[in-house]
Amino acid sequence: MSSQPETATPESPSPSLVAKAAAAYTLGLRDRRLWVLIALIAAIAAGAQAVGPAVIPLGVASITLLPMIWGLLAGTIISGQPFRRLPIDLQQAATVIMGVAVLFLGARMSFTIGPNIPTLLQAGPALLLQEVGHLFGTIALALPLAVLLRMGPATIGATFSIDRETSFAMVSERYGSDSPHYRGVLSMYVYGTVFGAIIVSLIASLAVSLGWFDPLALAMGAGVGSGSMMAAAVSVVAAAHPEMQDQVLAVAAASNLITGLLGLYIGVWVSLPLAERFYRILTRNKDAQLPGRRPKNAPDTEAVQTAAASLLAKPAVDIRLWVSLTIISIAGILVAMVAAKTFSVDMVITYAVLCGLVALSLWISRITRGKVPAIIVVMTVGALLSSPISPLAGWFTAVTASVDFLSIITVMLTIAGLSLGKDLPMLKSIGWKIIPVGTVAIAASFLLSAVVAEFALGLWGH
């Protein structure tokens, strides 16, 4: 069984324009190159955890850089440095392992959802309303900035959301994959993939240090629809409020799940048409491209589609599920030991339980042909096992407490960093304008959602 989680696949570029991907081959533990990757994951993640957090004072506020940032930066530098880069096949292997690591994080966070179901029910209206912040944040702030910088119709694709995988399908269906709107999605996707976790963690750190927000409001804002960005933001909030760590994790996980489920429908029916309308108003309809109409100065269609295909295609390298589970467990236990400064058998038991949940979720996703996403399965089952209705709830809570969720995030983002080197050349080619626009889009999605959640929590007497 492959360790690659099955997810919805966006519309693919024309086969006549994109060369067929090479047949996938499997890397196993007998391959010495894979051991290089394993050693890098373990060494970087453990080293990052050992370095610990760093606080940078900024007057009335401050920024806290947690170990996960060191892991992400070190992994990116090693995979992308020009002298002796990590081989592409090992970067692709890291991408496959990363897909499983996200499920590990989801499984660990699900054990905080069950015991905190009353908190989620109490915050229910705020959880739903904060989606308004994710919806309007990028459009209200990033879109006008992109218009000011004269990004052209690419503005719509880059600012109607923070642009994850499903955004490609929405924009290609409405405008076509040879449109500037599609280039906008591509630019934001690459920028968010490389810098999203860093940006949102810095913004979350500033927001926490100011003390203006309820921790639960910031946790809701963290659910931007991206696993790595959510993990980066919520880790900062939880670290600043250890007395509320479980509630913060539960709310953030639920918020991210809601954003993921509603994102496709809101994107198609609300945010994409709204972004187009707002763009036309700001530009007075001078250079807005109608759906299906090719711009006068269209870019190289084949180049754009090939770039998108290279980003969204499944890696040509495959890794067996049990191998990915083993790699993540070994690195995870090592980092958990560094974080706790001790070893506990409960750490091994916790990772064994997480492995079982992840394997179950991938199996169910596979037999349902992806109709039931693995992340939904793993979080639902974990929440039920740890909820008050489960006779094992107390045992799960006690055992899994031995593995700090922050240590799992450090491992996950280290793996992500080791997979990013292959995306850096694309980042160089998309132009500087996406840097301010993408930064504002990510920050606005998080902050405006937190503002709405803060208002809603106060309204319902939290």
Residue-wise pLDDT tens digits, 229-248: 888 888 889 888 888 888 88
| Domain region containing 327 | 25-459
Whether 18 is in a domain gets the answer no
Pairwise CA distance, residues 419 & 189, whole Å: 15
Q: Is residue 440 part of a domain?
A: yes
The angle at the Cα of 299, spanning 297 to 303, to the nearest 5 degrees, equals 165
Question: In the numeric block, which tokens belong to residue 322?
Answer: 């049990």
43 domain residue, yes or no: yes
d(CA 160, CA 32): 44
Beta-sheet strands, E only, within 281-375: 317-318
User: Exposed, middle or buried, 417 (CB in 10 Å: 0-12/13-18/19+)?
Assistant: buried
pLDDT computed for residue 358 by the predictor:
95
Residue position matching structure tokens 């503002």: 451
How far CA 15 is from CA of 108, 164, 177, 210, 238, in Å, comes to 40, 22, 13, 51, 46
pLDDT at 45: 95
Asked if residue 3 belongs to a domain, the reply is no
Cα(273)–Cα(292) distance, integer angstroms: 15
Look at residue 328 in the predicted model and tell me its pLDDT.
95
What residues of the chain score a pLDDT lower than 50? Answer: 1-2, 4-22, 288-301
Residue 306 CA to residue 240 CA, distance in Å, equals 43
The owner of tokens 């190159």 is 33
Q: How many folded domains does the chain comprise?
A: 1
Record the pTM: 0.76
**H helical segments located in 176-320:** 180-210, 215-222, 227-240, 245-266, 272-283, 301-312
DSSP state string for 48-107: HHHH--EEEEETTEEEEE-HHHHHHHHHHHHHH-SSSPPPHHHHHHHHHHHHHHHHHHHH
CA-CA-CA-CA torsion sign (315, 317, 322, 324)? negative
Q: Measuring CA to CA, which residue among 196, 213, 197 is closest to residue 248?
A: 213
Residue 377 is assigned to a structural domain of this protein = yes
Whether the CB-CB separation of 177 and 200 falls below 8 Å is answered with no
3-state DSSP assignment of residue 320: strand
Query: Domain for residue 301, yes or no?
Result: yes
How many angstroms separate the CA atoms of 307 and 285, rounded? 29
| Chain position carrying tokens 């132009």 | 431
Cβ-based burial of 397 (10 A; exposed 0-12, middle 13-18, buried ≥19) = middle
Distances (CA, A) of 362 to 18, 99, 220, 247, 318: 29, 11, 27, 27, 15
Q: Is residue 158, in this structure, part of any structural domain at all?
A: yes
Residues 36-69: pLDDT tens digits?
A: 999 999 999 999 999 988 888 876 677 778 888 8
Q: Is residue 375 helix, strand or coil?
A: helix
Token readout for 257 is 């799940």
Residue 296: exposure state from Cβ atoms within 10 A (0-12, 13-18, ≥19): exposed
Residue 19 lies in a domain: no
In sequence order, which residues have a C-beta less than 8 Å from that of residue 395 and are 6 or more positions away? none
C-alpha separations of 450 from 127, 209, 213, 252 in Å: 10, 14, 8, 11
